[in-house]
Every structure is written in C-alpha cells, then in structure tokens.
Structure 1
C-alpha cells in the first residue's frame, strides 16, 4: 500500500493505492459541514484548506447512529460533521496519456432515511479496475435532507446530489476522469434519486447517462410534508418553525424520525399492502415544491425531461416479501382476500390470474407490493421516454432461500460476492453503458424486451405483468 496526492480546487488530498494499482480517496468534502446556520440550508461551498488532507479513511456519515436494528439497508456510521463528502476510486496511472476515463457516480439507497456511501458493499474498486473512475456520494437523509422546514431551503438532500455532481464536473479530471462522460447510478431510493435528477431542469450537462436499479416513484406534496413536520414537532415539544427545529440536537430528530416511521404499524396485511402500495410507509422524500422539484417524477418524464440522457433501468425478480407479522394472516385468509381489501376484488382477481396458481399466499401478497412499489416503475418510465433512449434489465439470481430480494444484486455487481460470473457480466455491461450510452442489447420497445441476468443472460420480454396492470394507475 502506498500514498498518492491529488490537488482539488479546495486543496490537496492524500489517498492510498492498493497492490493492484487502484487509488482510493475517501471522505473528500464537496460542500461545507451542514451545522449551525447551515443545518437547514442548501449545500454551501467547502472552505479551502492548507496542507494535505488525509483521505485514506471513510468520511463522516449523515446518521450519527441507528436507533433501531431493523434498517432497510445495512447501516455503516462514522462520526463527524462534514457529512457532505464523497469517495473516489481510480486506477493509478490511467488517464495520464490524455485519454480521460468515463465516470460512474453511485448514489446509495436506504429509503431516503438511512444508508451511506461508506457501506463496504459500495466499494467501487472492481469498477475502477475496468477503466472507469468511481465516485460514491454521501448526502443528507431523513428529516435533515427532506423534512419540510418553514422559512428554510427545501429539498436539501436533492440539492446535495446536485452539489456533488458539480464537484465531479469541476474536479474529476484531476483523478483521471472525463467530466463529459458522467453516468449517475443508484439502487432503491438511490435509483429514485437518479430518476429525479433526470427530470430536474437544473442538472443539464452534469451527467450524460443514468442507471436506475429497483427505483420507486418517491415524492411527497408540500402539504403532506408540512403535516409530517407538524406531527414531529408536536411529539418533540417544539414549534414547527425554523427556530424551533434548529434548537433540537441532531440526534434527537434522527431518533424521533425512526420512531415515527415504526410507531404506526398497519393493522392488517391488507392495510400494509394498501399503505405500502401508495408509499405512505415513508415520511421523508423529495418534496414537490414548484421550484427545484416541480412535479411527480413520472409526470416530468412524460413532459420530455431527461430524454436526451440514455437510461438503463431494471429491478430484481421478487424485491419484497410479506413482513413476518402478516404471514399467518396471509396463509389463513388467502391472497385474494388480502389483495381485495387493498385493491378491490376485480383488480385482485386480475392480478392473481397473472401469477402461478401454486404460489403461496404470502409470496403473492409480497409480489403485489413489490410490483406496485418497484417493478412497475421500470415499464412506466420505459414507455414515458422517447423510443431508443431506454434499456431494461431484470436480475434473476436467487439467494440461498430461493428468493431474489431487494438489493440482492449489489454484492454481485460490486464484486463483493467473490467469483460471481453474473456479477462480472453485469459490471462489464454497466461499464460499457458508461463508456458508450449503450449496454449492448436492444433498447426497450413496445414489447419490453430487455436483458435477464441469470445463470445465462437472455434477452426476452420483461415486466409483462406490470405492463398489463400498472402502466396507467
């Protein structure tokens, strides 16, 4: 292991080079620490520093600690105030001949409530070894990033994404990257962030291709966001104002936002299906503010925003399972009764007619929620966009339980699952897409043909159930 120093616009940073020649720089700030008067402000320019800044250790994460153990994404926390930071992965020595490499910017998932770029699963060394410059960003999550605060800047987390991309534009050439070939990519809420960035007028020229893995259509109205803030403030005994909320320590709000997330469990399996299907199980997400976030992301795509940027979009086969508290209810009542409570008998019967007759009730109910939250987003965006601009995929490699669950492609894609042949093929296709804007198979057409990653990769019609039922609802 050796060191390497690179000069950014704000100052010099020292990274480390591994035995394979991959240079890693961790925790580089792209904006000032969001503390004090900047706590509920948009990202501010990072102050320049003297000397050489150590970038060999992970940067601070937005969450101070995880108040519960359930987390949507396995949590990795690092203390510190400079949470608006990113990490860069680059093959040392490449790019010095004047041939800069494409850039892949990773936006982590975590339901907009948690997660960080420091998660070991997001190590981008395997991508750097294939000749791209990897960047993994941290951004404000939960109330800090998306909570509605009167008289403050809204959508702070969204603005953090934009600030990180501006840093990439201004600095990535110093790491061997090409600011004219930037691909944004993410999974789960990180994929939702990718789709949101595609539909923002403010992001033109900051990226040139996009990859969305298991995205959901996540946004909330201003009135609903204001109501959530009011309830949180009342619970904490402060006024729902900038002054009242600013007086609370960061950890107090972070703990309370988890309690509000967990405090109102659905009373029945049907209630869970109904709530999950319309996204009411989450509290904090981009707010439609008629400014930065002008409207629902699908509506914005239908208006033509982002169609000039190639999009690779897909999901995994099963995504979600029915939560344990509702499994017995599913088996005793049956899937038809559960889905009828949530969606009406006619819709429930039509949906179940498209599933195998022998599927267990708990799996049918979980699949319905998966289709409503994640999988339907794929054909909806593919149809909304200009023909020839969108490529579709599906990940179909089961784990030891026989399921293909939400996030299960991540260890394969990033090379954490050692020896994964399908992961190597996906990674190569992602890199090809970052280089050329085309992953190597036909763009999605009216039949929804895409690449199905399994033991063997097959190009076939995908998401037929979702296209039949969920395109227009």
Structure 2
C-alpha cells in the first residue's frame, strides 16, 4: 500500500459527506454515514485505516512499533487499512477479512460527532487466538455505539510469530507494544474526534478479551484507559522458557539463526508457514493447550509483564478500574460436536481423563454438570474444555480482584455475566456468539452460520445497552459480583443468578 498524502478525494455519493479532522501526525478525511436506527445520533463519521505506527517492514520488522511520522496535506481515511492477518485464515466464526499491504498498524475511528466534546470512548481489540483476526470486520463497525453517543475505535496489531514470537535480539511482546502505542494514539488524538481521553474503556473478545485482561494487569498500561470489558478472555501468560523454545524451534525449522537477521531473511509467508507447523492444533497438542495455554501470546518477560496476570490482579494492579467479564456457556463445544459419532465409542472416563479430569474432581464435576452430561459425550467434553480454558478464569479473576480490593481504598467493582442463549444454528452458546449482540449488529453479514435465523433483537438490545451503560456511566446495570458469585445471565430471559459459575467449582 502506498503512502497517501494530499490525495484528491474520490467523489462522494449523494448519501456521503466528507469530514476532515486534524490529528497529531496530520489531517485525515473520513466519511459521514447513517448510524443504526434510533438513538441520539442518526449519523456518524467513520475514519478508517489511520496509521498509528510506521509499517513494520524492512528495518522495523520484528522491532518495537515506531510512531507514525507526520504527513503533509490530507490523508484519506475512507477504506480499511492493511491487516496483519494474511490470506485465508481458515474457518472463522466472525467475518474478519485480510487486506494486503505493509502499513498494518492502524486504527479505525467511528465517531458520533467530531465536533462534540467529552464523549465516552470504547476501544475494541479483536480476537483470533493471537495468531489471526482483523479489525476490518463489519461486525466491529461502531455504528450502534455511535448512535448511543460512544466514540468507537478498533485497532490492529501484529499477530502470530511476528507479534509474539521469541527472537534472540528482538524486543519481547511486540504485539503488546502495538496495543500500548495504539492506546497512546487514542490518548493523544481522540479529543479531535469528539472523545474524552479520560473516559476510555478497552474491550475485546477471545484473544482480544485476553488482551484486555493482560493490559488491566500491566503496570505500564494503567494510564491509558479507565475501565475494561472482557468477553471470553483467553489469557496466554506464556512463560519465557516456553516462548524461547518455540522461537528456537521455528528458527531451526527454517534453517536460520534465531535472530532478527536470520528470521528477516525468511519471507513473511515462510514464517507464517513455520508458525502454523509449530502450533498446529492436533490431538497430541490439545492436552498441552488445555494445561499450559496457547503457545503464542503475551509472554511473562519480566519487563512489560513482570508476572502472570492473575498474580498482578491479586496484587492490586488495575484494581481502581471497573471490570466486566464473562463467557458464553459452550465456547469450544462445537470443536467436539463434529466428533460426536466417534465419541460414542470412547468410554466417558477415558474422554474426561484425556481432557485432564480425574479422581474426586471428576465425580464432583459430573454431579455439577449432570444436565450437560445427559446431552452426550461431545457436549460434556466441549463444556469441560470450555470450563478449563475460559470459565474457570472468570471465577479466578473475580476472586483475585476481591482479594486485592480488601487492601485498596479506591478499588472498583467487578461485574460478571454468562451468555447462555442457545444459538439457532448449534443449539448452544458457542464461541463468538455474543459479539454481534454486544455490537447490536444482528442485521450484519454472516449471522446465520453463527446464530441461526432470526436471533432475538430483544437480547441484543439488552446486551448492547449494558455495554453502553458501562462505557458511559461505569455500571452495566446489575449487581457487582461478590462472594455469592452473582452474575447477569443472558438467555431466553435476562436475569441475575447467584453462584452462576458453580458448575466449574470442581476444577478450581
């Protein structure tokens, strides 16, 4: 993608109107368009693909991000910028397109009114297991949040080995540094788009939710946001030793030294191929991922991440920031659902043992999940994987925050939710199902394969309204969690439930 400066704009359609904003690096041109129906703001402005850093290529490949140099004239921000995700990522549940080009470190800003002042800000970090994902998804359009008076930003970051892989002489956690620089950009520039830098909520789903929790527990990030919303957050907290072992294995497989020079001699596509081979999710690696987490992701490097995130939260890092977190009930059940016929011949005890559940805990877990077990081994195994990778973390993080709050005068509340509505496509609440409800975009593309026909708009109204309330007022509208474990449950009805995550207790 070529550098844009002082470009002549394309002619707008009758429904469009160009709007210009001055950022710290230069002027950008966005496009006014309708918001979602109803609400305070019937129109908003989208600014797409604004670079916050120089392209991470050439001498900057495998380097810490460098702030974008100023440009002359007006830069078009009318189309999504290049994405770090390359080519076809394979089966995905969210439409997240890959866009070619070098300037992959960019942000998209959706604002109700650039001339407003002090509007709350939502910054969205996409998921994708830390190895894929794109901020250019139509589901991440801030149209509905704009309608409700919230400036929305989606950011890009380096994924996979380029973002997280260990290299002997390269800075660690390069993607984490991308998050930090993007949030610095928001602090420096969001007022020009009508937003308030003192009212920034970070939010994300899956690896993006893990990013939110990582940032919440990171001392170096505390000045960059004021509240956090984590959907299905997957913490990586990769050990330095495990990260180095993977980095050396990738370099060895590529027949190069594990250095910037060595790995830079390989093409981007070759590194991606080596990464896929080293991290392929086969049956032999499944138990390792359940026990040890994802192999690529934020690394406990003693620098940006001085200790695992749960330990930092327990020590009080981020305790002054309100947090909402939760999961869908069956994040990974569909991974095993397709194997349902084969699992008929696998003894239940063997299946549970392979998934890390043995002894007394197995008996307690089966008793607490009898309703799921009655639906078959695929559903039971899927729920167990979901619980070990996602749902136990909710309980542990909420407990860590409560423990820290006892010693901190200005400790902020934690709210917990469960998304339990059964998809009309799968019959259970699978991974990613809550995202279009959060963004109130049930009329968007690729909805039927995830949610089935006619997903309930009333449920989207409830989920989205809670998110708006949290971003605007710091309270999603249900009681904060406490020792009773109360949580909001989004199902065919919306209600509050004490001890809502009781079914994972045997795993704690």
The 3 A distance-change label for structure 1 pair 448 and 233 is: same
Q: What's the CA shift for 1:213? A: 0.4
Query: Does residue 403 of the first structure (1) align with residue 403 of the second (2)?
Result: no
- Is the aligned partner of 1:205 residue 2:223? yes
C-alpha displacement of 1:156: 0.4
Q: Residues 112 and 359 (structure 1 numbering): CA distance in 2 closer, same or farther, change over 3 Å?
A: same
List structure 1 runs of 4+ shifted beyond 6 angstroms: none
Aligned to 2:20: 5
**Deviation (angstroms), 1:204:** 2.0
Q: Trace 1:43-54 onto structure 2 (pairs within 5 A).
A: 43-54=65-76
> For residues 426 and 63 of structure 1, what CA distance do their matches in structure 2 show?
29
Q: Is the 8 A contact 1:330 1:361 kept in 2?
A: yes
Superposition deviation, residue 199 in structure 1: 0.9
Matched, 1:177 2:195: yes
- Structure 2 Cα separation of the partners of residues 111 and 93 of structure 1: 34
CA contact (8 A) 2:365 2:504 kept: no
Deviates more, 1:159-168 or 1:116-125: 116-125
Match of 1:307 among 311, 319, 332: 319
> How far apart are the structure 1 equivalents of 2:142 and 2:171?
32
Alignment of 1:128-147 (within 5 A): 128-147=146-165
Seen in structure 2, the aligned counterparts of structure 1 residues 236 and 463 have a Cα distance that, compared at 3 Å, is farther
Q: Decide which moves more: 379-388 or 395-404.
A: 379-388
Distance 2:368 2:76 in 1: 55
Q: Which of residues 101, 112, 123 is equivalent to 2:119? A: 101
Partner of 1:337: 350
**Out of 411, 429, 432, which is 2:469 matched to?**
432
Give the drift of 1:62: 0.4
| Greater alpha carbon shift after TM alignment, 165-174 vs 29-38 | 29-38
Structure 2 partner of 1:375:
391
Q: Please state whether the residue corresponding to 1:278 is helix, strand or coil.
A: helix
Cα distance in 2, alignment partners of residues 84 and 165 from structure 1: 12
Measure how far apart 1:438 and its partner are. 1.3
- Structure-2 residue corresponding to 1:293: 305
Does 2:299 correspond to 1:275? no
1:64–1:77: 8 Å Cα contact kept in structure 2? yes
Residue number in structure 2 paired with 1:17 = 32
Whole-angstrom CA distance in 2 between matches of 1:279 and 1:7: 46
* The one of 43, 48, 55 aligned to 1:26: 48
Match of 2:233 among 215, 238, 245: 215
SS in 1 for 2:45: strand
Q: Using structure 1 for the length normalisation, give the TM-score.
A: 0.93
Question: Displacement, 1:463?
Answer: 3.8
The separation in 1 between residues aligned to 2:263 and 2:93, in whole angstroms, is 26
Q: Aligned partners of 2:465, 2:267: CA distance in 1, in Å? A: 45
The CA distance in 1 between the partners of 2:303 and 2:114, in whole Å, is 43
The reply on whether 1:238 has 2:256 as its aligned counterpart is yes
Quote how far apart the aligned CAs of 1:107 are. 0.4
Determine which of 51, 74, 82 is the counterpart of 2:103: 82
Range with greater deviation from structure 2 (411-420 or 20-29): 411-420
* 2:366 aligned partner: 352
SS at match of 2:379: helix
> Mean Cα displacement is larger for which, 448-457 or 23-32?
448-457
Q: Does 1:319 align with 2:331?
A: yes
Contact 1:191–1:212 (Cα < 8 Å) also in 2: yes
Aligned residues: 461
Mean Cα deviation higher: 329-338 or 299-308: 329-338
Between 384-393 and 199-208, the greater mean CA deviation after superposition: 384-393
Q: Quick one: distance in 1 between partners of 2:488 and 2:92?
A: 31
Shift of 1:93: 6.0
* Equivalent-residue separation in structure 2 for 1:442 and 1:343 (angstroms): 33
2-structure distance, mates of 1:463, 1:40: 43
How far residue 462 of structure 1 moved from its aligned partner, in angstroms, is: 4.5
CA contact (8 A) 2:114 2:192 kept: no
